[in-house]
């Protein structure tokens, strides 16, 4: 009997574990280690953050689902990996620390195969004032990164709405809280959902709204933007993003690295080297992501963290980490199998794998401050990668270690994304987009880097319906309810 240990129970980890358990059956063991007791459909946190959904609607308990799937579940966080074993034993193992009623208790779990799908550490402390100094979110801003954060954000938003109803003007500042953030899409959704809610509450004219982000142009989204065919033209997402912001009367500040946050104000540096200050009554700023801080040790107990993980804390996989300057970047730099190059029984999926480089053009201010979005690896790509990794591990277990691995390069897969711009069965809108491929391939598509036949976007009520249906579909799938395998990632 082989044992697969999956670290993390988010989109990538949950997909890997559930498919592996289904394909391997009871002949082998699948173990999930995740510090959370609940699964969270993160895209719907946006609606929790404006009070249009409850935390209970976007989360469910993991334990009964894993019990149904025959998966061994530990509510714990992974602390370290010993891929060579230790002392007399060659058996690799992970060290975990429980976060449930056994909080603080340390345990080791041996494995035959390991999938690192821990997701990111929300690195609030990268910006003074964005964090509390202890790794948690600070007091000056809100977040929608977790369901609990979104509940708090909704509470603060409604305080602002009450203040506006009482006649006090409010300034809203939404975007990214550091020059190296990703997930601009979540902030994009949140600012338009707030605008929609303020309209519904009849207080829009009492609100000043501003977008602040590390993108060098609106509509970059960490993917270097996208081009789509509209009205016979091939046009940049920049034009459509600017149009939407102008239509909704939302100003923007781009190419911005937020370097300090205090109560009601923040300091920033722009790509041109200038600095400034913005005041706010309500700010939702996405933190930068980092690896969760896993350590790695060899058989002798020597620290090999830098061998297994990139400096940002994400696990090294089969990517080309020596691509050099931007001019030399290729689509083929991106990983295909997500197998660790040194330890063939270790994989990383979803946000946990170290990308070879960013997707957007790298930029920095004259002061040397890097200000560019880091690559998105969430949602559909995470799910597809998780499933491919599950396939590979299952084949290695059942067919032998040298079997051909399954591939899921982000430079060869597309992504469908639906960004809400306001919730309502008949009044809601969302931008429905697809990109193909996620990572542009300028050798294959010399003009835009992508196939414009399969890269498109439009805003409307249909997009909102799709996002709402996806909410129910993916929770249904994650709960392993009947027909779950038929729903694509």
Partner 1 sequence: MKKEDEINFQKNEQFTLTMMPGNFAKKLRTCIIWQAIRFAIINIKMLIVVSKSH
CB of 414 to partner 1, least distance (A): 4
Cα dihedral across residues 341, 346, 347, 351: positive or negative: negative
- Name the region of 288 (left: φ>0; alpha: ψ -120 to 50; beta: rest): beta
CA distance from start to end of the chain: 28
Residue 75 or 409: the one with the smaller Cβ distance to partner 1 is 409
Within 407-426, which residues bind partner 1 (CB under 8 A)?
412-416, 426
CB of 465 to partner 1, least distance (A): 6
| Closest by Cα among 26, 227, 9 to 99 | 9
* Distance from C-alpha of 74 to C-alpha of 62, rounded to nearest angstrom: 10
CB of 476 to partner 1, least distance (A): 17
Contact between 247 and partner 1 by CB under 8 A: the answer reads: yes
Interface residue with partner 1, options 2, 79, 239, 290 (CB under 8 A): 239
Contact between 460 and partner 1 by CB under 8 A: the answer reads: yes
Contact between 233 and partner 1 by CB under 8 A: the answer reads: no
CB of 247 to partner 1, least distance (A): 6
385 neighbors 402 (Cβ within 8 angstroms) = no
Contact between 432 and partner 1 by CB under 8 A: the answer reads: yes
Contact between 473 and partner 1 by CB under 8 A: the answer reads: no
Residue 252 or 474: the one with the smaller Cβ distance to partner 1 is 252
Lookup result for tokens 């690799």 = 92
- Two structure tokens written together for 80: 């370290």
Contact between 466 and partner 1 by CB under 8 A: the answer reads: yes
| Options 98-106, 300-308, 430-438, 476-484: segment touching partner 1 (CB under 8 A) | 430-438
Size of the site for partner 1 (CB under 8 A): 35
User: Which SS3 state, helix, strand or coil, does residue 121 take?
Assistant: strand
313 neighbors 291 (Cβ within 8 angstroms) = yes
Residue 66 or 280: the one with the smaller Cβ distance to partner 1 is 280
* Distance from C-alpha of 25 to C-alpha of 302, rounded to nearest angstrom: 37
Residue 79 or 416: the one with the smaller Cβ distance to partner 1 is 416
Site string for partner 1, 371-410 (x = CB under 8 A): ---------x---x--x-----------------------
453 neighbors 228 (Cβ within 8 angstroms) = no
| Options 80-88, 134-142, 246-254, 363-371: segment touching partner 1 (CB under 8 A) | 246-254
CB of 425 to partner 1, least distance (A): 10
Query: What does the H/E/C string look like for 56-105?
Result: HHHEEEHHHHHHHHCCEEEEEEEEEEECCCECCECCCEEEEEECCCCCCC
- Two structure tokens written together for 241: 């993003």
| Options 52-60, 199-207, 439-447, 456-464: segment touching partner 1 (CB under 8 A) | 456-464
Contact between 148 and partner 1 by CB under 8 A: the answer reads: no
Supply the DSSP symbol for 375.
P
How, if at all, do strands 233-236 and 121-122 pair?
A: unpaired
**Residues 98-126, buried b or exposed e (16+ Cβ, 10 A)?**
bbeeeeeeeeebebbbbbbbbbbbbbbbb
Residue 326 or 454: the one with the smaller Cβ distance to partner 1 is 454
Interaction site with partner 1 (CB under 8 A): 239, 242-243, 245-247, 249, 251-252, 380, 384, 387, 412-416, 426-427, 429, 432, 434, 436, 454, 456, 458-463, 465-466, 488-489
């Amino acid at each position: 009997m082989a044992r697969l240990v999956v670290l993390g129970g988010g989109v990538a980890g949950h997909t890997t574990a559930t498919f592996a358990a289904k394909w391997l059956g009871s002949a082998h063991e699948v173990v999930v280690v995740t510090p959370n007791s609940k699964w969270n459909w993160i895209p719907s946190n946006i609606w929790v953050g404006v009070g249009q959904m409850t935390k209970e609607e976007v989360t469910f308990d993991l334990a009964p689902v894993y019990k149904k799937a025959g998966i061994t579940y530990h509510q714990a966080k992974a602390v370290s990996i010993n891929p060579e074993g230790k002392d007399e034993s060659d058996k690799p193992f992970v060290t975990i620390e429980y976060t449930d009623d056994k909080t603080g208790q340390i345990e080791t779990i041996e494995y035959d195969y390991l999938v690192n799908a821990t997701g990111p550490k929300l690195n609030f402390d990268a910006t003074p004032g964005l964090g509390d100094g202890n790794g948690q979110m600070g007091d000056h801003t809100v977040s929608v990164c977790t369901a609990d954060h979104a509940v708090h954000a909704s509470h603060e938003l409604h305080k602002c709405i009450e203040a506006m109803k009482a006649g006090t003007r409010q300034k809203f500042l939404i975007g990214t809280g550091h020059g190296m953030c990703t997930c601009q899409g979540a902030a994009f959704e949140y600012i338009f959902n707030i605008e929609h809610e303020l309209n519904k509450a009849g207080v829009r004219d009492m609100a000043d709204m501003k977008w602040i982000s590390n993108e060098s142009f609106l509509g970059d989204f960490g993917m270097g933007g996208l081009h789509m065919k509209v009205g016979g033209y091939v046009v940049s997402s920049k034009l459509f993003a600017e149009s939407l912001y102008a239509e909704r009367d939302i100003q923007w500040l781009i190419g911005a690295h937020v370097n300090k946050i205090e109560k009601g104000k923040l300091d920033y540096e722009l790509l041109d080297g200038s600095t400034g200050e913005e005041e706010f009554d309500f700010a939702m700023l996405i933190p930068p992501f980092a690896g969760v801080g896993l350590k790695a040790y060899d058989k002798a107990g020597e620290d090999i963290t830098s061998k297994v993980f990139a400096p940002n804390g994400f696990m090294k996989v089969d990517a080309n980490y020596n691509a050099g300057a931007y001019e030399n970047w290729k689509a083929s730099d991106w990983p295909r199998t997500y197998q660790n190059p040194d330890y063939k029984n270790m994989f990383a999926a979803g946000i946990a794998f170290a990308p070879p480089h960013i997707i957007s053009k790298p930029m920095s201010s004259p002061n040397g401050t890097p200000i560019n979005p880091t690559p998105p690896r969430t949602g559909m790509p995470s799910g597809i990668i998780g499933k491919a990794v599950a396939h590979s591990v299952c084949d290695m277990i059942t067919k032998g270690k040298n079997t051909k691995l399954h591939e899921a390069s982000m430079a060869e897969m597309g992504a469908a994304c639906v960004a809400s711009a306001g919730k309502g069965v008949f009044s809601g809108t969302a931008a429905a987009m697809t990109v193909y491929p996620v990572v542009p391939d300028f050798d294959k598509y010399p003009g835009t880097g992508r196939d414009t036949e399969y890269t498109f976007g439009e805003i409307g009520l249909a997009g909102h319906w799709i996002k709402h249906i996806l909410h129910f579909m993916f929770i249904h799938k994650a709960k392993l309810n009947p027909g779950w395998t038929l729903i694509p990632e």
